[in-house]
Amino acid sequence: MASRGVSEYLTLLPSACFTFVMIGGVLAFFVYSSKQRAQMQIDTAQYQAGAMAQRLGMRLERGEPHINLFVNQSAFANQTYDVVLRGERNGVPIELIYLKQVWVETHLMSATRHRKWQGQLTARTGARFGHFEVTLRHPQTWNAVRPFFSVAMQEVMTGNARTDSMLRVTTDNPAIAGPLGALLEPLTRLNYVHVIGRDGEVTFLVSHAAVGQGNEMIGVGYALHDAEVIYDILTRIVLVAEGRG
């Protein structure tokens, strides 16, 4: 009987060891991931809402100053990061909007996970110039974007060789193509480009990446890094549209 008990114990031992190893591995992964996230928060502290407001000369009108706009703070449910910065650049009202919201709706036998997101750098205007959209002409998988406007618009050439070779411009008002050419050229040096124009605003979108669910806001980091350049481009477009450029 004793021999049989030892034999059964030895049979179960590999499975038990494997289970303990797996549990230990999972715990180690979570500890490592937590340390990595904490270190990333430190390394990207300049992208906290308060720091970005100070850097860009804007006001933090909504959200906490410690919220890091660069780091995906949490993949878990019931998290909301809602930040709005406003200010002025080149005499034009500007704003930065960053919203990530995840919540779970529980049912009797199931649960539904909901997501809402919005990310943009915007210059406001009273000018009316129709609609236009600017994207990279030859994007890679990681920086491709989904169209913002539901109705397809005509592709136009701006007459600026560099802009036309590297960017794709579509619009329902071809008359604006020429003026946009030189104004958009600085965008050709960026790795991520998605600009839309419509009555009331010219906006750099960071919430329409086409890489897949959960990664729609992959453009945030690129936009924050190049925010000064982007706001200069957006405000210059507004100034020209308003006849002040």
Report the alpha-carbon distance of residue 55 to residue 46 in Å, rounded: 9
Tell the residue number behind the tokens 């924050």, with chain if given. 224
Nearest to 91 by CA among 241, 199, 238: 238
Confidence (pLDDT) at 29 = 40
Report the alpha-carbon distance of residue 138 to residue 160 in Å, rounded: 17
Going by their DSSP bridges, the two strands 132-136 and 111-124 should be labelled as unpaired
Burial label for 169, CB within 10 Å (0-12, 13-18, 19+), is: buried
Identify whether the C-beta of residue 69 lies closer than 8 Å to the C-beta of residue 62: no
Confidence (pLDDT) at 111 = 78
Name the 3-class secondary structure at 37: helix
pLDDT tens string for the chain (245 positions)? 555 555 655 555 555 554 554 555 544 544 444 555 667 777 788 999 999 999 999 999 999 999 999 875 444 556 789 999 999 999 999 999 999 887 778 887 887 877 788 999 999 999 999 999 999 999 999 899 999 999 999 999 999 999 999 999 999 999 999 999 999 999 999 999 999 999 999 999 998 888 876 677 888 999 999 999 999 999 999 999 999 97
Identify whether the C-beta of residue 195 lies closer than 8 Å to the C-beta of residue 213: no
Confidence (pLDDT) at 43 = 79
Nearest to 216 by CA among 100, 82, 46: 100
pTM, full prediction: 0.82
